[in-house]
Chain A
Amino acid sequence: MKLLYSLYKEYKVLIRDKAGLAITFIMPTVLILIMTLIQDSTFKSVNESSVPLLLIDRDHDSLSQTLERYITNSKFFLVTKKQLTNEAAKKEIAQGHFFIGIIIPENTSKKLRERSTARVTKLLNSFGGDSASVEKTIDTSKIQLNLFFDPITKKSFKTTISNSIERIISQIEMQGMVSALNEKMRESFPDAKPSPMENTPLVSITEEYASYNNSTIIPNAVQHNVPAWTLFAMFFICIPLAGNIIKEREDGSAFRLLTMPGSYFIVMLGKLITYTIVSLIQFALMLCVGLFILPLLGLPQLNIGNSLPLLFLIALSAGLAATGFGLLVGTVATTHDQASLFGAVFIIILAAIGGVWVPTFVMPDIMKTISVISPLNWGLESFYAVFIRNSGLKEIWPEIVKLWLFFFVTLGGSYLFQKYKRLK
């Protein structure tokens, strides 16, 4: 009965605190909307965005046309065609207008055809013992294509782009050779009517993200920002909670409650339960933002995986960790200002370390290592696991245990500190 009335009191106090409600529910909603909109393009560049590519075509023939078609169809590049000198092209790339530039010199197609034909002729003639005649007439020097890269391009990305373009050129080369062979065969067998040679690849590679239950969801801005800022908001309730505890201490309510048999413990339990419920409501609200509001803004819909009970467990664990932290801050801090400043700064640091602002997968190795000390990271990794990899409890239990341990440590810390302060 005491607990019920304590819960009712906390509910009434909370519901009438308009500023507190705004911080608790509106702030994370706004943060999710703003951060997701801002980061959407950044996440796309990491995932699927078109790389701006400058194509300088001086060939105007089959090779350049085929190359352009392949590059455009790959959807990896955003192709812009210009007629520039090599120096002007370099300047454009150096200024950051393009990530990559390709210069196809004059007569490249013609040279490719000549060399393909010569190679095929040489091969066929060698069956009759005569290869020297062809050797003498063809130019064996390599055809040069020039690639220019933006200086800020990472080596790994440069290699990937070079390999992609080389693969496209190899395909064109192969087609040139096959065409030359066809031509030669037609000369040797004028009456034959061969079926056209198929040039579709014989080997195909399927790519898929390693995940459980055959899920193939690519992380995007929504998948990152919704859980990240929800956790941030959940931990941010340490400020109103700590403020609530300090206010009770300052106005003598805590003194009065401590003089009542067993009541202070009940009141603290009431706060713990109330604020944990608030954090669960925050979580549900943020899920709704991800599911229903973000798609209205042209952003992808949040994919919440397929285990609502598991999501509830993560949210409950994170909520308890946040509430425990709030109790500790409220017990240790002596003034409202101290609690607000310390709580806010500490949560912002934990959020930065934990990958809320910048996801851990783009952090340098040292920060990735440090990130595992943040409870926000434990929560975030658990949400990632369920949202993106459809993981089960078997995969995320270490993070859940860490959150519960954090809760018990902060709870124990606040109890011991309270006892120490009273005995002092």
Chain B
Amino acid sequence: MSVLVDIQHVSKQYKEAPKPAVSDLSMTIEKGDVFGLLGPNGAGKTTLISMLCGLFPPSSGTIFINGHTHQTHSKASKQAIGVVPQEIALYLKLTAWENLNFLGHMYGLKGASLKENIKQHLSVLGLEANMHQKISSYSGGMKRRVNLIAGLLHNPQLLILDEPTVGVDVQSKQAIIDHLKKMNRENGMTILYTSHHLDEAEDFCNYIGIIDHGTLITQGKTKELIAQNNCSSIEEVYLKITGNNFRDK
């Protein structure tokens, strides 16, 4: 498989912070992988994802997405990415259809293919009957599902998911994970997934990276990582590597 994301010696130092949020981090994500990026609060996950999305540049190092950097080929690298933020990044006063139609156009999609695409995703995730209702009237699970569709509309090469199932019921969680697996299997979509649901990460991701204090501590195929550390689950591996101390005290 070829490399889709190549992160080379990336560091990020915020002006007022005593230590870098990300420090000399290197890693790759291959096309078709479901990569679980795990780490405690303040480990540097959000900073790394923000740089991957092109929100701000690294202080040093380079990030290549499909061979392009945000600094030199912003349009191409951004077009390759789909983002599903942890927050419900939708307009509550608009309907699901209006939200997705707007965001689809912002990705440069249009016409019948966009409409068909929206309908298909809504149908698969059980939202077709409610698509003309305002988002404000939706349950938490329904909002999460629309939030996910918004990142999938342009069929990105890399889908970045930040806690996509937080605060939803089991049924919605299952629907979301199943849909993501289908997109990965059928479209070859590469997924970068962050979550604190470690059992979900173990089930969903074929590759895991654990980040702490701004550096990548370990990475590997999920099953191999468990075996290498003589553990029975990713949660055990995670606690073994990052310790039991609180990080957000």
Contacts and interface: CB of A to CB of B under 8 A. Distances in A.
Interface in B71-96: 74-75, 78-79, 81, 83, 85-91, 93-94
Interface string A105-137: 000000000000000000000000000000000
A255 to B, nearest CB: 5
Contacts of B150: 256
B190 interface: no
B93 A267 contact: no
Given A12-B94, A259-B81, A2 B108 contact: yes
Interface in B50-109: 53-57, 74-75, 78-79, 81, 83, 85-91, 93-94, 98, 101-103, 105-108
B197 interface: no
Nearest to A244: B91
Interface residues of A, number: 28
B53 A259 contact: yes
Contacts of B103: 256, 260
Contacts of B15: 424
Contacts of A17: 93
A188 B110 CA distance: 109
A263 interface: yes
A267 B15 CA distance: 29
Contact of B56 (A5, A266, A423): A423
B88 A252 contact: yes
Interface in B1-35: 14-16
Contact of B107 (A12, A258, A260): A260
Interface in A245-302: 250-253, 255-263, 266-267
- Taking residues whose C-beta sits less than 8 angstroms from the other chain, chain B's interface range is 35 or more
Given A255-B55, A422-B56, A423-B56, A1 B89 contact: no
Nearest to B84: A256
B192 to A, nearest CB: 13
A255 B134 CA distance: 22
Contacts of A267: 106
Contacts of B102: 5-6, 8-9
A13 interface: yes
Contact of A13 (B16, B89, B93): B93
B74 A261 contact: yes
A16 interface: yes
Contacts of B89: 251-253, 255-256
A2 B107 CA distance: 9
A5 B105 contact: yes
Interface centre among B75, B93, B134 (most CB of A within 10 A): B93
B14 A13 contact: no
Interface string A1-45: 110011011001100110000000000000000000000000000
Nearest to A3: B105
Contact of B83 (A5, A12, A259): A259
Interface of A: 1-2, 5-6, 8-9, 12-13, 16-17, 250-253, 255-263, 266-267, 422-424
Given A6-B106, A252-B89, 13 more contacts: A6-B102, A8-B102, A16-B93, A17-B93, A251-B88, A252-B87, A252-B88, A255-B85, A256-B151, A259-B78, A260-B78, A260-B103, A261-B108
26 contacts: A5-B101, A6-B106, A8-B102, A9-B102, A12-B93, A12-B94, A13-B93, A16-B93, A16-B94, A250-B87, A251-B89, A252-B88, A253-B89, A255-B87, A255-B89, A256-B150, A258-B54, A260-B107, A261-B74, A261-B75, A261-B78, A261-B79, A263-B107, A266-B106, A422-B56, A423-B57
